[in-house]
Amino acid sequence: MMIDLRSDTVTKPTEEMRKAAYQAEVGDDVYGEDPTVKKLEETAAELLGKQAALFVTSGTQGNQLAILAHCRPGNEVILEEESHIFYYESGAPSALAGVQLRTIKGENGAMNPADVLASIRGEDQHYPETGLICLENTHNRAGGAVIQPSNMKEIFMLAKENNIPVHIDGARLFNAAAALGCPVTDFSNNSDSVQICLSKGLGAPVGSLLVGSEEFIRRARKWRKRLGGGLRQAGIIAAPGLIALTKMRDRLGEDHLNAQQLAEGISNMPGLSVVNKVETNMIVADVSGLNITSDQFVEKLKSQGILAGTFGGSRVRFVTHFDINTKDIEMALSGIKQAAQK
């Protein structure tokens, strides 16, 4: 049996989720007649303090619908230089929305508000209009870093002063709330729209949610249809998502504790170093002290029954989730130590 630490997307649905899918009351969601989808959307909107929500197939789809609904072709979108939207979404903003991206170097994933302000375009026929500012929380490539609500609020306020909407890629936003012990609205209030994933730390088999104003969601729903995302009896996949959203948030702290235990153990191994501040469920380890590449080390881990992900160069990422318990962490540390010694 492999201990899978590649991502929190690998979680298997709980028995309760499987039963909920089987028993879900369904209807045609394109007609607005699926009661389970409607309940999921209403619950998400209420939790995040927004007027409305839209059930989407993935976090990437949610982010791209937000860009399409907020922007016009020829606009520019400001975002952090290693954000998921820029790094991992296949160039979709340019391919689908016809916008260009303006990246800002952040610190642990957080953009300096002064840099954001300086990047907003003035009125000039040579420039694209700034159509959107995107934030990411937690920040994936910063090792699951939590972006502080104070930073987000400062950016949101300057965006309002310049009539620019703000979108949060909140794929793991509930991890951020769990890490700080605060309501998720402390983050979502600093935005016009938010995307949250159900299929990562919350453990649902599929799906994300996009929330915002009623008018924004109306536009996003039409874009979802244009892109072939109009689902029919979607309650079958919305039902596990509803359990994820209502019952899995409070246990995220367990993943964070397991991540800290894993990070502490790795830090004590010769040749390995943890290079991120472990705030949530991600650990990024540098293996250059072993004179080996991340790809080679990941292969050695596999031979020890551990799955991890390469994170570029000499870095390897480990992600804890609800399918990983304390015993798994102990076994993983033993396997990592063996791989390092070999």
Give the rounded percent of residues in the chain with a pLDDT score beyond 70: 100
- 196 and 173 in a common domain: yes
Q: Which of 247, 275, 308 is the last residue of a domain?
A: 247
SS3 state at 227: coil
All residues at 6 or more sequence positions from 191 whose CB lies less than 8 Å from its CB, including other chains: 135, 152, 156, 166, 167, 168
Determine, yes or no, domain membership for 3. no
Q: Which run of H or E residues covers position 15?
A: helix 15-23
Query: Model-level pTM greater than 0.95?
Result: yes
Domain residues for 163?
10-247
Determine, yes or no, domain membership for 5. no
Say which DSSP state 95 is in.
Answer: I
- 272 and 215 in a common domain: no
- 255 and 213 in a common domain: no
Q: Which of 225, 247, 269 is the last residue of a domain?
A: 247
Q: Which of 228, 247, 266 is the last residue of a domain?
A: 247
Nearest to 5 by CA among 237, 339, 341: 339
- 145 and 29 in a common domain: yes
Determine, yes or no, domain membership for 59. yes
Q: What are phi and psi of 291, to 5 degrees?
A: 55, 50
* Cα–Cα distance measured from residue 334 to residue 324, given in angstroms and rounded to the nearest whole number: 15
* Measured torsion, CA atoms of residues 208, 212, 216, 217, in degrees rounded to the nearest 10: 40
Classify each residue of 296-312 as buried b or exposed e, where b means 16 or more C-beta atoms within 10 Å of its C-beta: ebbebbeebbbbbebbe
The model's pLDDT over 53-87, given as tens digits with 9 standing for 90+, comes to 999 999 999 999 999 999 999 999 999 999 999 99
- 66 and 160 in a common domain: yes
The model's pLDDT over 249-282, given as tens digits with 9 standing for 90+, comes to 999 999 999 999 999 999 999 999 999 999 999 9
Mean pLDDT calculated for residue range 122-151: 97
* Measured torsion, CA atoms of residues 302, 176, 195, 35, in degrees rounded to the nearest 10: 90
All residues at 6 or more sequence positions from 219 whose CB lies less than 8 Å from its CB, including other chains: 68, 69
